[in-house]
Chains A and B, each alone.
Chain A
Amino acid sequence: MVGYIVRRLGATVPVLFGVSVLVFAIIHAVPGHLVQLIAVRSFAALTPAQEERIRHELGLDRPLVVQYGDFVDKALRGDLGRSFYTNRLVTTSIIEQLPATLELAGAGMLFAVAVGGGLGLVAAIRHNSWLDNLAMLFSLGGLSIPMFWSGLLLIYLFAVRLHWVHIVGGAGWKALVLPAIALGYDAAAFISRMVRSSVLEVLRQEYVRIAYAKGLSERTVIFRHVLKAAMIPIVTLVGLNAGRLLSGAVVVETVFARQGIGRLAVEAILYKDYFLVQGVVLLAALIYVSLNLMIDISYAWLDPRIHYQ
């Protein structure tokens, strides 16, 4: 187990190196040079000397390798530069917005696992029944309805027509319900399909038939044998969908005019605030890589037969 974890951690290093190179490249692939962008922002035509000074201040006059080393060194110390637009530290802006996104992603995941997992389980147990068809219709809808549209439909139905919640803003759990459903529906659809096929596969196993033959109740068989065996693919799905939810937050936060790092990223791109873009993209990748790492480690814990190859 320890060896597996060490090797899995080792495999993460090249990925993190690649991520850092790609994020570093964002600044160097800016359409219109960075210095020109700063000049436009300050509404002033820069003299060559001023341009040179800004290049020097940003460290852009040094070799790329040195700049990359400096970027990694600063990033490791939590310094991702300052926003062009607000002049605030990128790290501060991200730390301020992150809790709102995590809250939304957490609520979305809760909805996805509860509804998707529940429907998938029911669909498998009542295979080929109307419940199964209904669950699969729900799943098809989730895979076909874009998040930004389902969000708008939810606002129209529950805020505009029924007045159950505020159109945008608000506070507490009421403000979280609709965004969480919009965000989690897509993941719930995915989870319900996978849980259904995974449980169906387990239900066909001999030991499940034996459990039934022994006279155990359906509830005991499902909760004690079937769910336990179907757990590994479900854990994978939670991991895969964590990324889905994180990226979905970009859209849902805009639809519901919520605070969060997704909205921060979109605004940063629209305002060409490149250090902020770098910061958010780096953070999202780090969260995703860490989640995948934790999930892979949890496999080894759930199933000791799993080894790192």
Chain B
Amino acid sequence: MSVGTLRTAEQRTVDREPTRGRFRVFRRRLTRNRAALVGGVVFVMVVLSAVLAPIVAPYQPDALDFTAMLAPPGPAHLFGTDEQGRDLLARVLYGGRISLSMGFVAVAIAAGIGVALGLVAGYYEGSIGSLIMRAMDVMLAFPGILLALAVVSMLGPGITPVMVAVGIASIPQFTRVTQSSALATKEVEYVLGARAVGSSPTRIVVRHILPNIFAPIMVLITTGLAATLITGAALSFLGLGAQPPTAEWGNMLANGRVYLETAPWITIFPGLAIMVTVMAINLFGDGLRDALDPRLK
């Protein structure tokens, strides 16, 4: 019989109160942080403009206009055009769909696998945990983008391989943070209590440990999103991700490099899009970290 079935309705309400209180404190801290709010709002706007690109973009991203090649920013084309007369504003908006998707999918892969492995490694400290953590040490032996490069070399260039590669390369960070947090949490009294009344390991991990290590994981997801977005764009810039004519911020920059002297706007706007998005995520992430757990500050 689990602990839950022994509780009365009143007890359950009492149990939920601290959670509500904590959420209120979190919300208050987050909304008081002006930089985090600005970051959050800007990020939502970036995501919305990418999602609504078919509605808000003034042109199709692949529409060629040979009468307006390399046109500087002006009323007809707010961000100017590229060497084939394609509207850069439309390409930046549509490019956001690919760049942001790469970041979101990669961070979802990294968080999904990394947190699961970290929970297992943290809960079962023995040989399974040790094996997982040694595997993470091996992955961390490849600095930064190099592990992603190694994975792309196995999968071949393309958007999906880059998402998978960047996701895999980011797994160790999630595993390490989750494992160390789970290790600390599994010795606290309520977890010991749950174990004493015979709760299954899965229930203990999902119901008791995971919600209590949510703060560092959430912070890692936000900072991880910024990092995966940059790495994904970097791989596309190197010619290993999204391939032309697909509009994507990284490959737009690679294309703009050739026209740096004659049409710098091809380089400026996609770069600005990456910078603004990453800065917004970082500001929001910092605020989230401070609001969720001021000790992490």
Asked if B110 is at the interface of the complex by the 8 Å CB criterion, the answer is: no
Closest chain-A Cβ to B290's Cβ sits at a distance in Å of 13
Residue of A140, A152, A242, A270 with most chain B CB atoms under a 10 A cut-off = A152
User: What residues of B have a CB within 8 angstroms of the CB of A254 in the complex?
Assistant: 237-238
Knowing A29-B154, A281-B146 are in contact, say whether A289-B141 is a contact too (CB < 8 A): yes
Asked if A179 is at the interface of the complex by the 8 Å CB criterion, the answer is: no
Knowing A30-B154, A31-B154, A277-B153 are in contact, say whether A251-B240 is a contact too (CB < 8 A): no
B153 touching A288 by the CB < 8 A rule?
no
Closest chain-A Cβ to B258's Cβ sits at a distance in Å of 11
Asked if B207 is at the interface of the complex by the 8 Å CB criterion, the answer is: no
Question: Which one of A11-19, A65-73, A219-227 contacts B?
Answer: A11-19
Q: Count B-side interface residues using an 8 Å CB cutoff.
A: 42
How far apart sit A248 and B150, CA to CA, in the bound complex (Å)? Answer: 15
User: What residues of A have a CB within 8 angstroms of the CB of B278 in the complex?
Assistant: 143-146
Contact with A along B142-157 (1 / 0, CB 8 A): 1111100110111111
User: What residues of A have a CB within 8 angstroms of the CB of B81 in the complex?
Assistant: none
Asked if B48 is at the interface of the complex by the 8 Å CB criterion, the answer is: no
A152 touching B145 by the CB < 8 A rule?
no
Knowing A152-B257, A246-B143 are in contact, say whether A19-B138 is a contact too (CB < 8 A): yes
User: What residues of B have a CB within 8 angstroms of the CB of A144 in the complex?
Assistant: 226, 275, 278-279, 282
Closest B residue, CB atoms, query A146:
B230
Closest chain-B Cβ to A252's Cβ sits at a distance in Å of 10
Q: Which of these, A31, A242, A266, A285, contacts B156 with CB under 8 Å?
A: A31
Asked if A284 is at the interface of the complex by the 8 Å CB criterion, the answer is: yes
Asked if B216 is at the interface of the complex by the 8 Å CB criterion, the answer is: no
Knowing A31-B155, A146-B274 are in contact, say whether A152-B256 is a contact too (CB < 8 A): yes
Q: Which of these, B134, B149, B155, B282, contacts A250 with CB under 8 Å?
A: B149
A248 touching B267 by the CB < 8 A rule?
no
B153 touching A274 by the CB < 8 A rule?
yes
A18 touching B142 by the CB < 8 A rule?
no
User: What residues of B have a CB within 8 angstroms of the CB of A29 in the complex?
Assistant: 154
B234 touching A285 by the CB < 8 A rule?
no
Contact with A along B118-136 (1 / 0, CB 8 A): 0000000000000000110
How far apart sit A29 and B151, CA to CA, in the bound complex (Å)? Answer: 9
B146 touching A152 by the CB < 8 A rule?
no
A152 touching B267 by the CB < 8 A rule?
yes
How far apart sit A266 and B237, CA to CA, in the bound complex (Å)? Answer: 11
Knowing A26-B150, A30-B154, A277-B153 are in contact, say whether A146-B141 is a contact too (CB < 8 A): no
Contact with B along A134-175 (1 / 0, CB 8 A): 000000110111111100110110001000000100000000
Asked if B85 is at the interface of the complex by the 8 Å CB criterion, the answer is: no
How far apart sit A147 and B226, CA to CA, in the bound complex (Å)? Answer: 14
User: What residues of B have a CB within 8 angstroms of the CB of A266 in the complex?
Assistant: 149, 238-240
For the complex with contacts A25-B154, A31-B156, A284-B143, 9 further pairs of A-B residues with Cβ separation under 8 Å are A26-B153, A144-B275, A144-B279, A149-B253, A149-B267, A153-B271, A265-B146, A269-B240, A288-B143
